Amino acid sequence: MNNYKMTIQYDGGRYKGWQRLGSGENTIQAKIENVISQMVDKQVEIIGCSRTDAGVHALDQIANFKTNENLSEAEIKSYLNKYLPQDITITDVELVHDRFHSRYNAKDKTYLFKIWNEEHSHPFMRKYSMHVDTKLDIVKMKNASTYFIGSHDFTAFSNAKSKKKSMVREIYDVEINENSGFIEIRVRGNGFLYNMVRKMVGTLIEVGLGEIHEAAIPEILTSKERKQTGRLADSCGLYLEKVEF
Amino acid sequence: MNNYKMTIQYDGGRYKGWQRLGSGENTIQAKIENVISQMVDKQVEIIGCSRTDAGVHALDQIANFKTNENLSEAEIKSYLNKYLPQDITITDVELVHDRFHSRYNAKDKTYLFKIWNEEHSHPFMRKYSMHVDTKLDIVKMKNASTYFIGSHDFTAFSNAKSKKKSMVREIYDVEINENSGFIEIRVRGNGFLYNMVRKMVGTLIEVGLGEIHEAAIPEILTSKERKQTGRLADSCGLYLEKVEF
């Protein structure tokens, strides 16, 4: 049995997220599985590292699949890119150890969120960033972000649909940078609940607008109340940027 | 009479180009004129520096309009950005001399063409660059590009629809750079015929593919025959980058 690891980039704009949902075809997973299944002439399931939400992008999603076929890495990459839609690209294929598992072996993941923080819209990035037209106080946002670091119960920052056994996740780092009109927020952690990064960013935006106090984060975390957090930030600003194994 | 100069950015993807065509509304000029006319409560005509083709983008288009209304530059900018679609943005408004004319006063224009030159597609730039999946020989393209510099009759590089008195244009500079998978071609000149940059780039691409000889450009120019030039490069790769007055 061969185990192939794929590195994938996608514009999530027109998809219902990563995860295949029943018979629904409009997910990234379904699009890739269909092409692989056609290639090896057998129904194949792929295991993705992160189940990105509807509309969320990926610069470096990892997924693996197993097959008895002996195909070269270059053959697979070229076949997939030929038949996948243009908004999904396989940037690398690698034959890996039989026990490699994209989800279980992922040690940490980095999500990047792009905010376009100018009064006017950005014609070329309007689908790839969230537009906030009021100037954000980045110092307050940086201060607030430090409270996320460490292990916390992130119930308040999850969606009611999250039904995980444990709501505790560890955040290793939150980095906030300004870059010619954009504010880029990078969140690195061992795992994320459904909607968690978008809730964290939405809360940081309200801190930057002065609507939530920068020192209120610890209280919000311990409250475990979803109504205390900021709005859900737009999915089009979020990218799965990097996965480490 | 006040004369206002606007700097405009747009994603031309869903428009029939800059120039208002009869009663057709789906042009950049029409979109902007409609908002200005609504602002000053009177039909206003704007004069654009460059009539970009359908699908072509602009990073720095210049247009001006005259009105008897006394409005501040900031008021105009803010009103326009509020009512324009998100793929058209006014980045600057400036009150200028009464005799300033966007088209007559333009001294030189720079067009930028982006080619994505990798086997796989680019999920985020697929609508903002032309995908050429065969490796291009950039040295040959650079050699060929030098023949464009100077004053030439560009009939062979124009569209049959061009009915200008003179087909002579002066090209000051052609710059070709590689930048992480992209090939960027910048063409600076005193003016351009309809489709001229896209025909020049299409020809350079065929030089890069080895289909047209790099030293054939002078012959093609003197032939004045449109069938000798390369294919028309995709409009989505082209940007009006800079106008100098």
For residues B19-27, average pLDDT: 84
> Quick one: tokens of B124?
């985020």
Mean pLDDT along residues B47-75: 96
Q: What is the mean pLDDT of residues A42-71?
A: 96
**Confidence band for B160, pLDDT divided at 50, 70 and 90:** confident
- Report yes or no: A81 at the B interface, CB cutoff 8 Å: yes
pLDDT in tens, B31-47: 999 999 999 999 999 99
Residues of chain A with C-beta less than 8 angstroms from the C-beta of B119: 78, 81
The interaxial angle of helices B196-208 and B138-146, nearest 10 deg, is 130
Spell out the long-range contacts of B14-19 with Cβ–Cβ below 8 A and sequence spacing 24 or more: B14/B87, B15/B54, B15/B55, B16/B54, B17/B51, B17/B52, B17/B53, B17/B54, B17/B55, B17/B56, B18/B48, B18/B50, B18/B51, B18/B52, B18/B58, B18/B61, B19/B48, B19/B51
List of E strands, B49-160: 57-67, 88-96, 108-116, 130-131, 150-153
The CA distance from A122 to the nearest CA of chain B, in Å, is 7
**Residue contact A120–B88, C-beta within 8 A:** no
pLDDT band at B6 (very low <50, low <70, confident <90, very high): very high
From chain B, pick out residues whose CB is under 8 angstroms from the CB of A121. Answer: 81, 86-87, 89
Are A64 and A47 in contact by the 8 Å Cβ rule? The answer is: yes
C-alpha–C-alpha distance, residues A226 and B103, integer Å: 56
Q: Are residues A121 and B89, on separate chains, in Cβ contact within 8 Å?
A: yes
The active-site residue, picked from B53, B92, B98, B133, is B53
Contact A119 B88 (CB under 8 A): no
Mutate to test the interface with B, among A89, A129, A241 (most CBs of B within 10 A): A89
Q: What does the block give as tokens for A126?
A: 């309007």
Nearest chain A residue (CA) to B12: A123
Query: Which of B78, B86, B122 lies nearest to residue A121, judging by beta carbons?
Result: B86
Of A190, A123, A193, the C-alpha closest to A150 is A190
Mean pLDDT score, A151-170: 87
Strand partners, A65: A4
Residue A240 phi, psi dihedral angles, 5° rounding: -75, 115
Query: What is the C-alpha to C-alpha distance for residues A136 and A142, in angstroms, rounded to an integer?
Result: 11
Mean pLDDT, to the nearest integer, of B197-207? 97
**b/e code A46-79 from CB counts within 10 Å (16+ = b):** bbbbbbbbebbbbbbbbbbbebeeebeeeebbeb
Average pLDDT, chain A: 95
In this complex, is the C-beta atom of B236 within 8 Å of any C-beta atom belonging to chain A? Answer: no
A206 touches chain B (CB under 8 A): no
When pLDDT is cut at 50, 70 and 90, the band that residue A24 belongs to is confident
Q: What is the set of active-site residues of A?
A: 53
What's the pLDDT at A162? 63
Q: Among B89, B114, B234, which would you mutate to test the A interface (most chain A Cβ atoms within 10 Å of its Cβ)?
A: B89
> A103 near A26, Cβ under 8 Å?
no
Residue found under tokens 């007055």: B245
Looking at domain B108-244, which CATH architecture does it have?
A: 2-Layer Sandwich (3.30)
Residues present in chain B in total: 245
Closest by CA to A3, choosing from A105, A107, A135, A81, is: A105
Percent of chain B with pLDDT over 70: 99
Q: Using one digit for the tens of pLDDT, what is the confidence trace for A40-49?
A: 999 999 999 9
**Residue length of chain A:** 245
**Is B149 in contact with B172 (CB distance < 8 Å)?**
yes
Size of interface A-B (CB pairs under 8 A): 56
* Integer angstrom CA distances of residue A168 from A147, A190, A217: 15, 10, 15
Is the CB of A81 less than 8 angstroms away from the CB of B119? yes
| pLDDT tens digit sequence for A78-91 | 999 999 999 999 99
- Predicted-complex ipTM score: 0.90
Instruction: Kindly indicate the confidence band of residue B230, based on its pLDDT and cuts at 50, 70 and 90.
Output: confident
Domain boundaries, chain A: 2-96, 108-244
CB A196 within 8 A of CB A188: no
DSSP output for B158-209: S-TT---S--EEEEEEEEEEEETTEEEEEEEES---TTHHHHHHHHHHHHHT
- CATH topology for A2-96 is Alpha-Beta Plaits (3.30.70)
Contacts of B238 in chain A (CB under 8 A): none
Tell me, yes or no, if the two domains A2-96 and A108-244 fold the same way.
Answer: yes
Centroid of chain to Cα A34:
22
CB of A124 within 8 Å of any CB in chain B? yes
CA–CA separation, B96 and B77 (whole Å): 15
A88: which chain B residues are within 8 Å (Cβ-Cβ)?
Answer: 123
Whether the CB of A222 is below 8 Å from some CB of chain B: the reply is no
Interface residue A87 vs chain B (CB under 8 A): yes
pLDDT for residue B159: 84
